[in-house]
Amino acid sequence: MKAQEYPQAVQDLIASLKRMPGVGSRGAERLALWFLQQGRADARTLAAALVHAADTVSTCPECGFFAPQGERCTACGDATRDTRLLCVVEQPTDVLPIERSGSFRGLYHCLGGKISPLDGVMPEDLAVEKLLERVRALPGCEVILAVGSDVEGEATALYLAEQLAPLDCTVSRIAQGMPAGAGLSHADAVTLMRAIQGRRGI
Amino acid sequence: MKAQEYPQAVQDLIASLKRMPGVGSRGAERLALWFLQQGRADARTLAAALVHAADTVSTCPECGFFAPQGERCTACGDATRDTRLLCVVEQPTDVLPIERSGSFRGLYHCLGGKISPLDGVMPEDLAVEKLLERVRALPGCEVILAVGSDVEGEATALYLAEQLAPLDCTVSRIAQGMPAGAGLSHADAVTLMRAIQGRRGI
C-alpha cells in the first residue's frame, strides 16, 4: 500500500518555505496548505514580489543600506540631511529602528556585521575602509557608533574608535543603560552597572 | 527631511509576506531582509514553487484531498487499499496525520469544513451529498467519522450519522479519551468524562 502523500508540487513548496528562518516543518506545511486553500492569488503575488525584489534591490554605494539597483538610498539622496553626522550600524536592518526613533537626521554607514573572530569575521570583512574614506572626506564630522552592546559590538566599537582617532572627527557611542519602561527588578547586573556608570546630573 | 525607507520592491515584498497566517509586521520584515541578505536563490526557488503549486495542484475528484490537476490522489489511485472503508475528515490537512498513524488503510473523504451555523457553514456547504453518493455505491461499507471533538465537530458527526442511518453501511466515530502520554492531573473535565464513558474491558 502506498502512503497518502501530498502531490510533488506541494512537497516542493513545503521544502522551499521551510528554508525561511524561524519556519519549521509544521509551519511550512501549514503555510503551503494555506496558499493552496485560501491564498492562490497571494501565492502569485508573493512569487512576483520575491522575484522583483531579488532582481531590483541592491545596496546603496555610499552607506550600504538597501537601494534600487544603481541608485543611492533615500537618506543618501536627501539634500536636507546633515551630511556631517554619520551613524555607524552593524546591519542595514539596524537603520530603520534608529530612523523611527526620530532622533537622528544625519547619514548612515552599514558595516555589514561585527568583529567576531570566533565566527571568522575580521575587520577587513566589514566596510571599515569605506567608513574611514568617508570620514577623511568630511573633516570635522561627527561619528556615532550605534553597534550592539554585546561583546562583539563592544570589540567593534573599540576597534573603530582606534581607527578613527587619528582622523579629524569626534567619535561617540550610543548610551547604555536602562531601557524605557523597565523596572529595576528585571534589569540584569551588567545593564545596571552600565546605567550607574553612565549616570547624568538632572 | 525624507525618512529613510526601504526601496518600494522591499516594501511590496514585506506586504506580501505579511499576508501569510501567523506572520506579523516584524516577522515579514525579518523574512524579507533575510531573502535579500542571504536567500536570493531561495527567493527565486520559493517563487517558482509557489507558482508551480498554484498552477498544478487541484483536489482529488473522489475524496477532495490534494492531487495533481486532473488526477486522483495517491490513496484513491492505490488499488491495494480497502475501498469499503471510508474515513470522513473535516479538511484535507487532517488526512496525513491519520495516514502517519499507520492505523488506517482505506480511503478518505474530505468534507471541506464542519457544520457551524455561527460561521455560516451549513451542511449544504460541505461535501455531504458526495459522501452519501459514495456510500450508496458501496453497499455494506464502513464509515469512520474522524471529525474534531469540539462542538461543531460533534454536530457534524451527529448530522452525518443521521444522514447515513438509512443507508447500507456501518458508521463509527473515532474514540475520545486521554491522549497518549498524558497524566490525569492535566486532563480537563470533559476529556475525563468521555474517557470514563468510553472505558473498555482489559
- Could you report the per-residue pLDDT of A9-48, keeping only the tens digit for each? 999 999 999 999 999 998 999 999 999 988 789 999 999 9
Q: How far is CA B36 from the centre of its chain?
A: 33
> With an 8 Å Cβ cutoff, are B17 and A45 in contact?
no
Half-sphere exposure of A167 (CA within 13 A, CB side): 22
Tell me: pLDDT of A193 over 80: yes
Mention every residue, 6+ apart, whose C-beta is less than 8 A from residue A39: B19, B20
- Per CB-CB distance under 8 Å, the chain A contacts of B60 are none
Report percent pLDDT > 90 for chain B.
63
Question: Would you say the C-alpha torsion B66, B68, B69, B74 has a positive or negative sign?
Answer: negative
Q: Which of A13, A66, A78 sits opposite B36 (nearest CB)?
A: A66
> With an 8 Å Cβ cutoff, are A54 and B43 in contact?
yes
Q: Which of A6, A22, A67 sits opposite B66 (nearest CB)?
A: A6
Between chain A and chain B, the number of residue pairs with CB atoms below 8 A apart is 194
- Per CB-CB distance under 8 Å, the chain A contacts of B50 are 13, 16, 35, 43-44, 46-47, 50
Q: Which of A7, A46, A105 sits opposite B50 (nearest CB)?
A: A46
Report percent pLDDT > 90 for chain A.
61
List, edge to edge, every strand of the sheet that includes B107-110. B107-110, B85-89, B141-145, B169-173
B151 CA: distance to closest CA in chain A (Å): 23
> With an 8 Å Cβ cutoff, are A74 and B45 in contact?
no
How sure is the predictor about B84, in pLDDT bands with cuts at 50, 70 and 90?
very high
- Mean pLDDT across the stretch B78-107? 91
> With an 8 Å Cβ cutoff, are A10 and B66 in contact?
yes
- Please determine, for the modelled complex, whether the ipTM score is greater than 0.90: no
Report yes or no on whether pTM surpasses 0.90: no
DSSP3 helix / strand / coil % (chain A, rounded to 5): 45, 15, 40
Tell me: pLDDT of B87 over 90: yes
10 Å CB burial of residue A183 (0-12, 13-18, 19+) is exposed
